[in-house]
Structure 1
Amino acid sequence: MNYENLFAERIGGNQYGKSTAIYKFEKIKRAKQKARQLHPELEILDFGVGEPDQLSPEIVRETMKQSVDQMNNRGYADNGTELFSDAAALYMKTFFDIDVNASTQINHCLGIKSALSMLPLAFVNEGDLVFQTVPGYPVMATHTRYLGGDVIDIPLLEENGFLPDLSSIDPEVAKKCKLFYINYPNNPTGAVATDAFYDELIAFAKEYNILIVQDAPYATLVYEGPYRSILQRPGGMECALELHSMSKAYNMTGWRLGFFCGAEWAVDALAYIKDNCDSGQFKAIQEAAAAVISDVSVAESISLHYETRLKKMVKALQAVGFEASMPGGTFYLYVKAPVGAGESTFDSAEDAALHLIETQGISTVPWDNTGAYLRFGAVFESAGDEDDDRVLQILEERLQHADLRFE
């Protein structure tokens, strides 16, 4: 069978699976495996992961135990349960003081990744243009390209507070854009958007007839200022779609549940696509999430866990020469990568990351889109607060031993 000719061109056609290119996450994975083989006695300090290190809240787990035995939870959820939609609306009111219609302006999804992959199906035709901030989460951009759309990278630069510089976008290009993807609080930079930026972006979107796609899984993980939503701002509900998740804020990564809300016309279009792509998340999971989603005390407790770790990480990294400071949100530190170590010189952040894992057993995520940076995640495994201190002491000692250079 000549199966090679069956592969779609969007994944490489008959060359699918033959590429010798190795992407950065695979390189890091292989480097960790190599480090374990060469130094089996060495504890790998993994700051590269991007998912919570704790169990879901007790109320979530206990509600789930009860819900799985309920007959009415056995069937399809389709586009979501009324219980979860109402709970999501209460979440938007509790954290952001926004009144959202649970029937027409909210729809659940099987995690944000799923929703982002479907969005282009609702809005992108061949040749259409989408704006994607970089560095960033590429799922919507990838699926835009699958459909024959074009993606323009909008850089997030440190000198602009890791916010897009809208004045740098060619008006003739903006006229062709349909979707503008942003993500605040931002992964990997930790930046938070300001009200002034949201107002500017909303005006930009209205001028050029663009749907703003605000990816907000870290919305409650903020360490300065109030909780923010683009839907709070004047006009935001007319031209923005905001995506929220149970994964980061409530330690429910593997449960795969989130929701999208905002402009009614955009919610309706994405819900139409979703209805033809999946049959909804298990109703018991929606019940479990509804039990916790608007509980401010739980969200604050989880946020405090990361804030405490991040402050300790900042001190450890500053002690060895990194320009580290507290992020506005998320559970990441985004720092300029060293330019070398000892006699070695690094040409990229990826070089620095590979050196750290191979020689020191320290795993990070490199970013080279808009300068050389490393991302340290405050989601490393430990046995508690005292063990956090032990891990971070080892981190500082190993980085001191690495003899890093920053100039």
Structure 2
Amino acid sequence: MYSDRITSLPPYLFATIDAAKANMKAKGVDVIDLGVGDPDQPTPPHIVDSMCDAVRNPATHRYPSYTGMLSFREAATNWCKESRGLDLDPATEALTLIGSKEGVAHLPLAFINPGDIALCPDPAYPVYKIGTEFAGGKAHIMPLLEENDFLPDLEAISKDVLAKTKMMFLNYPNNPTSATADTKFFEEVVQFARENNIVVIHDNAYSEMCYDGYKAPSFLSVDGAMEVGMELYSLSKTYNMTGWRLAFAVGNKEAIQGFGKVKSNIDSGAFDAIQMAGITALSSSQQCVADMNKIYEERRDVLLKGLNGIGLDVKAPKATFYVWTPVPDGHDSIGFSKLLLEEAGIVATPGVGFGEHGEGYIRFALTQTAERISEAVGRMEKLTI
């Protein structure tokens, strides 16, 4: 009944976690969910108010533009200028997305022919690989290893693979490892992409979730990056707008144009009222972002103190709202996640769910209050690990 591409898909990681969580709740367990990275705080009121006003305007009720409202793309490129120093043309170098997941899933359709290769990090957001395979391409895994600071080893990719490679996915600050990349690495990527004629897609969904004075660099800020790729920015985590589904792509004019052709044949664009709320988010004071980062930083510190207190060697992440934790000796990632859920009522994501190179780790999301995280730590202290 189903197509081969559907039957070959593994169960979506977070759907499986939701089922296990629901099973424990049905048994009456007080579950502390540190699994899916969905902000627990509401969207800031000024953004919600903007949306309400826009929804009442009948002009927003009609089909939106495929490429997104020019005024939203102007707000997006102005934000990129102010926050990243990027000079971008909103008419030709920016594109509105219905969330960055949609963008990641559809991008390979613009650049991948059947049999072509996309370089995909591992561990990683599963949609990089899935989107590639849906387009008929093949995903070549770039292992992200702790000894390499969770950066891919570009020199390890064979010439035979590179001869068929059309795309590369990168994501820093990184999900799930919370690793960061500096401009030196991005310069190496630009040179690598030029030499091998590769389109680079930098998924920058966690660009604003930074701590301890750290500021994540933009891939596009590196000389030559505009010639080889694009960057995706999401409003989901930055402004607690995960359910709103709004993001944007910026970068190389030809790449943006090709991606736009795909989207014009697949969707009808993001709802104008949501884009108008997005304009408010991007154009208003960014104090709400700074306030949320303080909350996440406090939660991070509570969790780190607890995890290190029970003997786990965990480094403080400078960005994202994830803590990437090695599992105790004698456990694998699924087994330890199962132990946490069944014996302590704590949901954490097994690292192997992000790819084979995620084995040996679990991911905690800082999406509960500091008090609930402290309670989770207390439950872990009572476990025999």
Give the TM-score normalised by the residue count of structure 2: 0.94
Give the SS at the match of 1:225: coil
Give the SS at the match of 2:180: coil
What is the deviation of 1:32? Answer: 2.5
Indicate whether 1:338 and 2:328 are aligned. Answer: yes
State the partner residue of 2:205: 217
Q: Which of the residues 347, 356, 364 maps onto 1:363?
A: 347
* Structure-2 change in CA distance of 1:263 and 1:24 (3 Å): closer
Indicate whether 1:162 and 2:146 are aligned. Answer: no
* Structure-2 change in CA distance of 1:220 and 1:101 (3 Å): same
Q: Which of the residues 249, 262, 271 maps onto 2:260?
A: 271
Alignment of 1:151-230 (within 5 A): 151-223=139-211, 224-230=213-219
Indicate whether 1:402 and 2:383 are aligned. Answer: yes
C-alpha contact 2:303 2:374 (8 A) present in aligned 1: no
In the aligned structure 2, how far is the partner of 1:288 from the partner of 1:29? 30
Q: More deviation in 290-299 or 89-98?
A: 290-299
Q: Which of the residues 96, 114, 127 maps onto 1:108?
A: 96
Deviations 1:121-162 (A, max 9, x none): 111111111110011112232132123211101010111111
* Structure-2 change in CA distance of 1:28 and 1:285 (3 Å): closer
Indicate whether 1:61 and 2:51 are aligned. Answer: no
State the partner residue of 1:281: 270
Indicate whether 1:315 and 2:315 are aligned. Answer: no
Give the TM-score normalised by the residue count of structure 1: 0.89
Give the SS at the match of 1:244: strand
What is the deviation of 1:338? Answer: 1.7
Amino acid at match of 2:228: C
Residue segments in structure 1 that go unaligned for 5+ positions in a row: 341-345, 383-387
Kindly, what percent of the aligned residue pairs are identical?
A: 34
Computing the radius of gyration from Cα coordinates, the structure with the larger value is: 1
Residue segments in structure 2 that go unaligned for 5+ positions in a row: none
What is the deviation of 1:36? Answer: 3.0
RMSD: 1.7
In the aligned structure 1, how far is the partner of 2:12 from the partner of 2:186? 33
C-alpha contact 1:47 1:378 (8 A) present in aligned 2: yes
Amino acid at match of 1:360: A
Q: Which of the residues 278, 287, 293 maps onto 1:303?
A: 293
What is the deviation of 1:291? Answer: 0.6
* Structure-2 change in CA distance of 1:251 and 1:173 (3 Å): same
In the aligned structure 1, how far is the partner of 2:242 from the partner of 2:105? 17
* Structure-2 change in CA distance of 1:279 and 1:226 (3 Å): same
C-alpha contact 2:14 2:36 (8 A) present in aligned 1: no
In the aligned structure 1, how far is the partner of 2:335 from the partner of 2:342? 11
State the partner residue of 2:39: 52
* Structure-2 change in CA distance of 1:258 and 1:25 (3 Å): closer
* Structure-2 change in CA distance of 1:274 and 1:24 (3 Å): closer
Deviations 1:195-223 (A, max 9, x none): 11000011000000000010111011112
In the aligned structure 2, how far is the partner of 1:28 from the partner of 1:402? 21
What is the deviation of 1:25? Answer: 4.0
In the aligned structure 2, how far is the partner of 1:155 from the partner of 1:306? 28
Amino acid at match of 1:291: T
In the aligned structure 2, how far is the partner of 1:171 from the partner of 1:211? 17
Q: Which of the residues 3, 12, 15 maps onto 1:8?
A: 3
Q: How many residues end up aligned between the 2 structures?
A: 378
C-alpha contact 1:96 1:227 (8 A) present in aligned 2: no
C-alpha contact 1:242 1:260 (8 A) present in aligned 2: yes
Give the SS at the match of 1:292: helix
C-alpha contact 1:121 1:273 (8 A) present in aligned 2: yes
What is the deviation of 1:238? Answer: 0.8
C-alpha contact 2:48 2:277 (8 A) present in aligned 1: yes
State the partner residue of 1:343: none
Q: More deviation in 24-33 or 107-116?
A: 24-33
